Structure 1
Amino acid sequence: MVRTFALLGVLFSGFLVWLIVSADAGRSNPLFELAHSIPYGDKLGHMILFGTLTLFANVGSRFRRVSLGKVRPYLGAVVVTIVVIIEECSQQYFPSRTFDGYDLLADGVGIMLFSLLSLYLEKRFFTSNESTR
């Protein structure tokens, strides 16, 4: 199951790269149009897309954690957070994009919610032996 999530994470990352490159180039696609047709659809999209990536990364990395002082977040969530910050900040260098702090906030909410889902899945379906293999 962990390998399946890892593979899904790689495939989903490729999908996200395609979306980001399309947006950076100023190209439209049906997903962008759908997001713009729903109130707050862009923010909802950010939450779902980066939350899903977080879930795949957390499970795919066997729920591995890192120590940040007294906090021990999932490694996958930390990596996705770093990528999200870099991607959002890089938008200032593309004429078709703009930095939006609310997008960053929506990404963070998605990362947190899907990390909570990861915690549930870890406790519900994985024993400590399975998550450390």
Structure 2
Amino acid sequence: MNKLTIGLVLAFSSFILWMTYLANTGGSSVFFNLIRVLPYGDKLGHFCLFGILTLLINLASHCKSFPVGRFRIYYGTAVVTIFVLTEEISQKFIPNRTFDLMDLTADALGILSFTYFSFLSSKKPMKG
């Protein structure tokens, strides 16, 4: 299963990078058209894209984590958070893009929600 998960991470990451490239260069996509017609489509897209990526990377890395104070942070969660912050802040410097705090909020909610799903999926079933 891990090879499948790694393959999904690579495919999904490639999709996100392609969509980011199209957005940065003013390109168009059927996916951009879809989010325009859905109510809150852009925010839902941010939530789902980065949430699912977080879940996939956490699963592929077997939910490995590192300590930060009293907490443990999944490596996948940290990687996606750093990517999202870099990508969203970079929009201030790209002519075809605009920085939107609500996009960043949707990203964060997706990352946090799917980190929780990662936590639930990593729990071992209790033996009775």
Alignment length (residue pairs): 125
Matches within 5 A, 1:1-133: 1-124=1-124
Query: How far did residue 124 of structure 1 move?
Result: 4.9
Query: How far did residue 47 of structure 1 move?
Result: 0.4
Q: Distance in 1 between matches of 2:6 and 2:107?
A: 20
TM-score, normalized by length of structure 2?
0.93
Instruction: Determine which structure has the larger strand proportion and give its number.
Output: 2
Query: How far did residue 57 of structure 1 move?
Result: 0.6
Q: Distance in 2 between matches of 1:78 and 1:68?
A: 11
Query: How far did residue 2 of structure 1 move?
Result: 2.3
**Deviation above 6 Å: which 4+ runs of structure 1?**
none
Pick which of 116-125 and 60-69 moved more.
Answer: 116-125
Query: How far did residue 51 of structure 1 move?
Result: 0.5
Q: CA RMSD in A?
A: 1.1
Give the AA of the match of 2:60.
Answer: G
Task: Describe the superposition over 1:51-101 as per-residue Cα deviations: whole angstroms up to 9, x where unpaired.
Answer: 010011100111101111111121100110000000001111211100111
Q: Name 1:131's counterpart in structure 2.
A: none
Give 5+ residue unaligned stretches, structure 1: 126-133
Instruction: State the identity as a percent.
Output: 43
